[in-house]
Structure 1
């Protein structure tokens, strides 16, 4: 008997990240000592998220091609820059209001600057490439090769520092970027290594997601539902507006900007990494992980709807503009 586990998981937006994370959280909530009880390799799987993530970012870096064409640099650079601008604006505003700690009570309990910045910083690459493959051009798809620089905690740490919050030692900042750089160097020196390492990227996602979930107590974060929904909507609305504008200003139709207004599944790993680098964010990290995970799901649903709607408007406008030319 065969069971289509992979296909079933992939039907859920961000499923390869979300479902293992929830499974780990469920086990930790019901049986918090499972990892310690079994120890050995099983215990390492429950507690080894940072190690798995280090390997993940090396593999992710290997997919970056430094020999990008001018169009790819222009398009990818514009979208990357817009993402950074959106995150810095949010970081500065919320940093002044909240500082490093999460909101302690009310509807916004658990919301933090860390959660919002992490949700804003990293684009769902698979979703972007799928949407641009349908509504854009091949070179628009290739623009994501430059946007992979978003991956990892480096930009989030940088944004929090720019916002005037607790800073990170330069060694920590460099250390957050090194695995990605090492992967990029290896991948650009050897195309075979790029293909080999890049192919491992999706395989690692459910493993670090499970390890992250195994540190989350669901009883303390059940209220994140509506707040997580609101965060996802805010990411699409706010970052989408800035990305749309950047795309239009660089000669695009705005479709690519809207397609990039999502939260990547691996962004849910960022709060834990940031907290491990600076204890000032420890209180915010657990709630932030769940909120960012919720944003992954919400943006994965909203972004295709918004992108398809705008792409159809662009197509209809182009068709109307072409009619007079054909008539003459």
Structure 2
């Protein structure tokens, strides 16, 4: 059987197939990980440990000379994502204010939901796609982009800055595995070669664990509006990110790979409401819509990225 070859025929196959498999299993058997526990449970819930190893191995392949590039790329993508959320949020705010639409097809839609969905990038998805289609240094750019995680920038965008503090320990923890890998790879070329070989192998395992954390029923609960918002996130942020990525000398792949919604973004509406009670009535609908965006973008971004890479003549590094 040619399983690997068959998977690679699908755009972004090594990412999207394991991810969908994990999501389907969780949707059909939501307690599967707890039921079997042990290694099976660890495999279905181990996205963070696998990602940590991915960081170390990818970091080993990055030369210290690339640090300015990482800061430039990460800063550009971070700034673009936040700026896009600010602009879209400002425009939407002219029509919605601090409330939400109460009836009709767009019932439940609010600026809170829109901004929360657009502001936070799925880092694991971005790094996995960069490991497959991008430059090694582009993976490291997420160490800068990780600043967008959590409610801080959403609060800034909504005009309530100062109600959240950014924990510097979280940022250090996010980049530490990458730095350790970079140190090992730069001190010993044999370690660079040894650890670098693991990068493509980790992609499908991380994708499966990521998918196992998604329940497809969330999309159903949010309805077509949730799907539409997810598509809008990919389209709107994808276009701006591709343009700015190309503007600084990139080919746009890093940009489109960042056009997703992070899983922790689903918790942002509640965090914002905790800081400002005026948003409390919007939390249930906003949470459902953002959670839907997480799933929709996690499925759509790998497909669009693979299509875009093929269109510009970039081949997958896995296979």
Task: Give the structure-1-normalised TM-score.
Answer: 0.68
Please say if residues 47 and 211 of structure 1, whose CA atoms lie closer than 8 Å, have aligned partners that are also in contact: yes
Alpha-carbon deviation of 1:260? Answer: 3.8
Please say if residues 262 and 300 of structure 1, whose CA atoms lie closer than 8 Å, have aligned partners that are also in contact: no
Alpha-carbon deviation of 1:42? Answer: 0.9
Match of 1:125 among 125, 130, 150: 130
1:290 has 2:295 as partner: yes
Alpha-carbon displacement from aligned partner over 1:262-304 (angstroms, at most 9, x marks no partner)? 2169x77x534x7799983894774343133122322332454
Match of 2:184 among 186, 211, 214: 186
Please say if residues 236 and 302 of structure 1, whose CA atoms lie closer than 8 Å, have aligned partners that are also in contact: no
> Residues 158 and 39 (structure 1 numbering): CA distance in 2 closer, same or farther, change over 3 Å?
closer
Match of 2:139 among 130, 148, 151: 148
Q: Aligned pair count? A: 275
Please say if residues 117 and 159 of structure 1, whose CA atoms lie closer than 8 Å, have aligned partners that are also in contact: no
Q: CA RMSD in A?
A: 4.0
SS at match of 1:262: helix
Alignment of 1:253-264 (within 5 A): 256-263=250-257
Q: Partners of 1:174 and 1:63 in 2: how far apart?
A: 20
> Residues 218 and 66 (structure 1 numbering): CA distance in 2 closer, same or farther, change over 3 Å?
same
Q: Partners of 1:290 and 1:299 in 2: how far apart?
A: 16
Please say if residues 61 and 182 of structure 1, whose CA atoms lie closer than 8 Å, have aligned partners that are also in contact: yes
Structure 1: stretches of 5+ with no match in the other structure: 130-143, 248-255, 309-328
Match of 1:204 among 187, 191, 202: 202
Q: Partners of 2:140 and 2:150 in 1: how far apart?
A: 13
Alpha-carbon deviation of 1:196? Answer: 1.3
Deviating more after overlay: 215-224 vs 194-203: 215-224
User: Residue 276 of structure 2 aligns with which residue?
Assistant: none
SS at match of 2:65: coil
Structure 2: stretches of 5+ with no match in the other structure: 273-282, 314-319
Q: Partners of 1:62 and 1:276 in 2: how far apart?
A: 33
Q: Partners of 2:17 and 2:310 in 1: how far apart?
A: 21
